[in-house]
């Protein structure tokens, strides 16, 4: 039996790595008595995989994962027992049994919505911010991207689907960023924010929160809303 579910990582846990999350979930499964299925071979491990990794420093309310069970379990019972075994700041929800021939989450992933909260050192007015944003989105956005062959310049503009300014205050800016996200790569929101701050000639600390993931149109998972 394959279960699909979502784990939530609150802002208090944003600095834990994806590997730490994976270990934490596996420990919670064991404490909760979840009947895990294991791989074959010399070093068996739980059959657990993720739509994508949550970057260290990013919180999220939408990290989809899939886990194979050795015997049936009610999705609601799975969520309740695992959430009770997780540390404060993490929980599991929205579980369902994968239909026959479902395939992998990563192959269906298409995009994600992020909330970026910036704390500028000096106030940035709304008009100035919108002008810089419009100028930035009008052309290439070149960043240094780490690849298997080293650090190379890359244009991230094709990965950006939509950006909106939600709030501008003297000490707080909130943006919503919709970006492409697939198995072979996606938008690095921190790279986009760094480029925006450079365009503004401003300095700011920021936090990134993944709010939604969107998948292909052929199943029960969330899909991109129609504009």
Could you report the per-residue pLDDT of 169-200, keeping only the tens digit for each? 989 999 999 999 987 789 999 999 999 999 99
Asked if residue 226 has pLDDT above 80, the reply is: no
Q: Is 176 inside any structural domain?
A: yes
Asked if residue 219 has pLDDT above 90, the reply is: no
Residue ending a domain, choose from 103, 136, 155: 103
Q: Which domain holds residue 116?
A: 110-215
Asked if residue 131 has pLDDT above 90, the reply is: yes
pLDDT at position 227 is 55
Residue 74 to residue 81: CA distance in whole angstroms: 11
Q: 148: pLDDT confidence band, cut at 50, 70 and 90?
A: confident
Regarding whether 143 and 96 lie in a shared domain, the answer is no
Give CA angle at 135 (126, 163), nearest 5°.
65
Range of weakest confidence among 33-37, 47-51, 159-163, 216-220: 216-220
Q: 157: pLDDT confidence band, cut at 50, 70 and 90?
A: very high
Regarding whether 201 and 132 lie in a shared domain, the answer is yes
Regarding whether 120 and 54 lie in a shared domain, the answer is no
pLDDT at position 152 is 86
Produce one character per residue of 54-89: b if its CB has 16 or more CB atoms within 10 Å, e if not: beeebbbbbbbbbbbbeeebeeeebbbbbbebbeee
pLDDT at position 137 is 97
Regarding whether 114 and 37 lie in a shared domain, the answer is no
pLDDT at position 93 is 97
**φ and ψ of 61, to 5 deg:** -120, 20
pLDDT at position 173 is 97
């Amino acid at each position: 039996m394959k279960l699909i579910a979502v784990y939530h990582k609150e802002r208090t846990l944003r600095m834990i790595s994806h590997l730490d999350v994976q270990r934490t979930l596996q420990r919670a499964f064991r404490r909760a008595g979840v009947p895990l299925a294991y791989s074959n071979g010399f070093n068996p491990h739980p059959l657990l995989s993720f739509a994508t990794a949550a970057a260290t420093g990013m919180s999220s309310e939408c990290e989809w994962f899939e886990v194979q069970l050795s015997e049936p379990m009610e999705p609601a019972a799975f969520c309740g027992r695992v959430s009770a075994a997780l540390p404060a700041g993490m929980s599991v929800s929205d579980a369902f049994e994968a239909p026959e021939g479902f395939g992998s989450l990563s192959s269906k992933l298409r995009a994600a919505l992020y909330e970026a909260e910036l704390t500028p050192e000096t106030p940035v007015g709304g008009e100035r911010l919108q002008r810089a944003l419009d100028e930035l989105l009008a052309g290439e956005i070149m960043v240094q991207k780490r690849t298997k062959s080293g650090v190379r310049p890359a244009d991230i503009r094709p990965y950006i689907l939509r950006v909106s300014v939600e709030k501008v205050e003297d000490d707080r800016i909130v943006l919503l960023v919709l970006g492409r996200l697939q198995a072979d790569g996606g938008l690095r929101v921190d790279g986009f924010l760094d480029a925006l701050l450079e365009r503004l000639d401003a300095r700011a600390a920021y936090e990134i929160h993944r709010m939604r993931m969107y998948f292909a149109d052929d199943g029960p998972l969330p899909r991109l809303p129609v504009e």
